[in-house]
């Protein structure tokens, strides 16, 4: 993709820097204090932070507003996540125009977890377009100044486009071919689902090499055993390694709250420290997407000597 | 075939409650095969209704207006005597009986899908009647029907070991099936074709179809 770099994230990628991105999750709230606080805490470590869009089909605050507010208030660039589970092609165009107006520089295109996994299970999923067609629609808007029907957009859209991939997928080839096709439709970068296995990471990167699109490997430091267990059970396409779950469970047994936190941190550092160092040193990954939601304290120790 | 399942006894009882006199119509085609509106089920319904029933009959194809007219013409008095007609067919049949009789119609069945019969009692959803068939490109497996998200360009990230995130990973991921089938057929190039967004306006306009 020969699209210019509009965002700091893509500028860094084009400059060949090893980049780090974080993740913010506005929940079913009417205040952004917690999100802004998290953004401030991760700002020293990351070039940009993703803002999730109704993850797991839970109806949360619209992600555009926090994507804008974090940039305005904290000065941290955001990656506005958008699913097509909740938007038809009209809604996508509307939201992208608004995002451009608000100064958003990155969009991550997603299918979105199915509504039956969420907290409003009876809702109708939209899926008017799929994530490949969504990527194509953004290409039309950004690079050609029109929507899918060819209607002209008045004004420029200067936004870089990310796509998602799941290197945990088994079988992997349908996923690789799907992601590969999306890179050709107009993706500036790839962010992966959370990974726990360096061999799967390496294997995926090898398969993606020919598509020449920077890949940021996702990791998800686990703040508590409860989160680890939930993650293992309910996040589609992800399972937490049993030995990591067991270590987290053991850490949970520590009665003292502060000591328990320290133990959780130790487990995470022991598990993810070597993985992120190996990704940086031995693979051609372009960076790491650290989904330490509400666990920003881990950044400092995790990235020590990185 | 149009696959139907019978509503629960509770639902049927509740739906029928406001009506004193009822006539029962069965379907001699799909609902007979599904055992949701065949002669046995219609008679059972008739017997359950006891004194409330004014009569019953089978319509060979209640989704066909001509056949419905033909097969109901001998029951005019029984239908006139009834406050409503219990129709044991798919939604197409229920509406055709309604159009012909102008009576209140009560659907005994839920219409599920256009399906494949593996055996009686075991049916699989195969077609959403989307009006833009691409089975030639997808190894004879329909992603509109068999992918929970109806995706046109490969699997989503919720595929685990070839299973779908919807339904606790028990259903097959249609796009993994398509991949496997195309690979077997040595036609994997079809997997990577980009399928642009569909024109949904054409579907809106095909509520009626006249071929002459």
Q: CA A114, CA A264: separation in Å to the nearest integer?
A: 31
Q: Which residues of B touch A181 (CB under 8 A)?
A: 153-154, 192, 194
Same domain, B101 and B22: yes
Per-residue confidence (pLDDT) for residue A236, from 0 to 100:
85
The CATH architecture assigned to A8-239+273-302 reads Alpha-Beta Barrel (3.20)
> For the residues of A18-73, what is the DSSP string, one character each?
-EEEEEE---S-S--HHHHHHHHHHTTT-SEEEE-SSGGG---S-SHHHHHHIIII
Task: Judge whether A196 and A240 are in contact, CB under 8 Å.
Answer: yes
Of chain A, the percentage scoring pLDDT greater than 70 comes to 100
Nearest residue, CB atoms, A133 vs list B160, B179, B196: B196
- Are B158 and A174 in contact (CB < 8 Å)? no
Is there a contact between B63 and B89 (Cβ–Cβ < 8 Å)? yes
**How far is it, in rounded angstroms, from Cα A73 to Cα B79?**
72
- Verify that B27 and B73 share a domain, yes or no: yes
- A135 with A185: CB under 8 angstroms? yes
* Sheet strand arrangement including B2-6: B2-6, B109-119, B122-127
Same domain, B146 and B108: no
State residue A305's pLDDT score. 78
Give first-to-last CA distance, chain B, whole Å: 24
Strand A106-110 to strand A160-165: parallel, antiparallel, or no bridges (unpaired)?
parallel
Question: What pLDDT does B212 receive?
Answer: 81
Q: Check whether residue B32 and residue B107 sit in a common domain.
A: yes
**Region A6-34: what's the mean pLDDT?**
98
Residue B70 lies in a domain: yes
Mark whether B19 and B107 lie in a shared domain.
yes
Count the neighbouring beta carbons within 10 Å of the beta carbon of residue A66: 25
Q: Which of A259, A256, A258, A232 is nearest to A243 (CA)?
A: A232
Omega of the bond prior to B85 within 30 degrees of 0, cis? Answer: no
- For A227-261, write each residue's pLDDT tens digit: 999 988 988 888 899 999 999 999 999 999 999 99
Residue B35 lies in a domain: yes
Q: What pLDDT score was predicted for residue B204?
A: 75
Are B39 and B94 in a shared domain?
Answer: yes
Name the minimum distance, in Å, from the CA of B185 to any CA of chain A.
Answer: 15
Q: Is the ipTM of this complex over 0.85?
A: yes
Q: Is the pLDDT of residue A1 over 80?
A: no
B29 and B61 assigned to the same domain: yes
A250, two tokens: 């053991």
Mean pLDDT of A22-38: 98
Asked if B190 and B94 sit in the same domain, the reply is no
Q: What is the pLDDT of residues A212-224, one digit of tens each?
A: 999 999 999 999 9
Across-strand partners of B2?
B114
Residues of chain B that touch chain A, judged by Cβ-Cβ distance less than 8 Å: 148-162, 165-167, 175-176, 179, 188, 191-192, 194-197, 200
d(CA A203, CA A42) in angstroms, rounded, equals 29
The residue of chain A with its CA nearest to that of B182 is A174
Q: In chain A, what residues touch B195 (CB-CB under 8 Å)?
A: 132-133
Q: Give yes or no: residues B78 and B137 share one domain.
A: no
pLDDT in tens, chain B (212 residues): 999 999 999 999 999 999 999 999 999 999 999 999 999 999 999 999 999 999 999 999 999 999 999 999 999 999 999 999 999 999 999 999 999 999 999 999 999 999 999 998 999 999 999 989 999 999 999 999 999 999 999 999 999 999 999 999 999 999 999 999 999 999 999 999 999 999 998 877 767 888 88
Whether residue B16 is found in the same domain as residue B48:
yes
Q: Which residues 6+ apart lie within 8 Å of A231 measured at CB?
A: A194, A220, A222, A238, A240
**Token digits for B87?**
């129709």
Do B11 and B106 lie in one domain? The reply is: yes
Choosing from B112, B144, B162, the residue where a domain stops is B112
SS3 letters across B17-63: CCCCCEEEEEECCHHHHCCCCCHHHHHHHHHHHHHHEEEEEEECCCC
Q: Which domain holds residue B171?
A: 131-205
Rounded to the nearest angstrom, the minimum Cα separation between A132 and chain B is 6
Q: What is the dihedral of CA B131, B135, B141, B144, to 10 degrees?
A: -30
Look at residue B125 and tell me if it is in a domain: no
Q: Residue A271: which of A306, A205, A219 has the closest Cα?
A: A219
Chain-chain contact of B149 with A148 (C-beta, under 8 angstroms) = no
Residue-level pLDDT at A134: 98
Residue A300 class from Cβ within 10 Å (0-12 exposed, 13-18 middle, 19+ buried)? Answer: exposed
Q: Choose among B165, B176, B200: nearest Cβ to A114.
A: B165
Out of B61, B77, B112, a domain closes at B112
Secondary structure (DSSP) of A200-269: HHHHHHHHHGGG---EEEEE---SSHHHHHHHHHHSTT----HHHHHHHHHHHT--SHHHHHHHHHHHHH
d(CA A242, CA A115): 28
* Residue A88, helix vs strand vs coil: coil
A207 touches chain B (CB under 8 A): no
In this structure, is residue B119 part of a structural domain? no
Query: Are B84 and B21 in a shared domain?
Result: yes
Sign of CA dihedral B91, B33, B20, B48: negative
Query: What's the CATH code of the domain at B34?
Result: 3.40.50.2300
> For residue B137, is it within any domain?
yes
Q: Is residue B124 in a domain?
A: no
Mutate to test the interface with B, among A125, A174, A193, A236 (most CBs of B within 10 A): A174
Cβ burial A249-288 (10 Å sphere, 16+ → b, else e): eebbeeeeeeebeebbbebbeebbbebbeebeeebebbbb
Looking at the predicted structure, is the pLDDT value of residue A70 above 90?
A: yes
**What would the DSSP string read from start to end of B58-87?**
EES-TTSHHHHHHHHGGGHHHHHH-SEEEE
- Cα separation, B151 vs B154, in Å, equals 7
CA angle A53, A218, A3 (to 5 degrees): 75
Residue B211, in any domain of the structure: no
Residue B25 lies in a domain: yes
């Amino acid at each position: 993709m020969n699209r210019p770099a509009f965002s700091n994230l893509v500028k860094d990628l084009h400059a060949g820097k090893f980049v780090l991105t974080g993740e913010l999750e506005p929940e079913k709230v009417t205040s952004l204090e917690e999100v802004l606080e998290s953004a401030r805490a991760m700002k020293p470590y990351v070039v940009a932070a993703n803002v999730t869009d109704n993850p797991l089909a839970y109806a949360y605050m619209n992600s555009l507003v926090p994507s804008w507010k974090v940039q305005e208030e904290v000065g941290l660039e955001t990656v506005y996540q958008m699913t097509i589970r909740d938007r038809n092609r009209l809604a996508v165009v509307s939201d992208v125009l608004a995002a451009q107006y608000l100064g958003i520089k990155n969009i991550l295109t997603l299918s979105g977890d199915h509504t039956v996994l969420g907290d409003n299970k009876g809702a109708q999923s939209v899926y008017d377009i799929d994530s490949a067609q969504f990527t194509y629609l953004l290409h039309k808007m950004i690079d050609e100044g029109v929507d899918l029907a060819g209607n002209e957009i008045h004004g420029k859209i200067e936004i870089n486009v990310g796509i998602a991939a799941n290197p945990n997928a088994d079988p992997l080839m349908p996923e690789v071919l799907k992601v590969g096709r999306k890179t050709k439709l107009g993706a500036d970068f790839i962010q992966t689902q959370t990974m726990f296995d360096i061999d799967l990471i390496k294997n995926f990167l090898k398969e993606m090499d020919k598509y020449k699109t920077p890949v940021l490997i996702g990791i998800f430091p686990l703040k508590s055993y409860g989160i680890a267990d939930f993650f293992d059970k309910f996040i589609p396409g992800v399972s937490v390694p049993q030995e990591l779950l067991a270590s987290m469970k053991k850490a949970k047994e520590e009665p003292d709250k502060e000591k328990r936190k320290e133990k959780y941190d130790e487990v995470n550092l022991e598990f993810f420290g070597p993985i992120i160092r190996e990704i940086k040193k031995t693979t051609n990954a372009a960076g790491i997407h650290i989904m330490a939601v509400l666990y920003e304290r881990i950044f400092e120790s995790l990235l020590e000597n990185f | 075939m149009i696959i139907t399942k019978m509503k629960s006894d509770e639902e049927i009882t509740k739906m029928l409650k406001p009506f004193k006199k009822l006539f029962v119509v069965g379907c001699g085609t799909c609902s007979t095969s599904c055992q949701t509106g065949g002669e046995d089920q219609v008679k059972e319904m008739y017997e359950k209704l006891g004194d409330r029933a004014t009569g019953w009959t089978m319509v060979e194809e209640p989704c066909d207006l001509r056949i419905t007219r033909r097969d109901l013409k001998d029951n005019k008095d029984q239908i006139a005597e009834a406050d409503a007609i219990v129709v044991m067919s798919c939604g197409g049949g229920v509406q055709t009986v309604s159009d012909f009789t102008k009576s209140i119609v009560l659907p005994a069945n839920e219409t599920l899908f256009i399906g494949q019969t593996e055996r009686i009692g075991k049916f699989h959803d195969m077609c959403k009647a989307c009006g833009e068939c691409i089975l030639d490109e997808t190894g004879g497996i329909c992603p509109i029907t068999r992918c929970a998200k109806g995706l046109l360009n490969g699997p989503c990230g919720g595929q685990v070991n070839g299973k779908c995130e919807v339904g606790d990973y028990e259903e097959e991921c249609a796009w993994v099936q398509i991949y496997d089938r195309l690979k077997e057929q040595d036609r994997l190039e079809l997997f990577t074709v980009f399928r642009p967004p569909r024109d949904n306006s054409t579907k809106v306009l095909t509520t009626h179809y006249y071929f002459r």
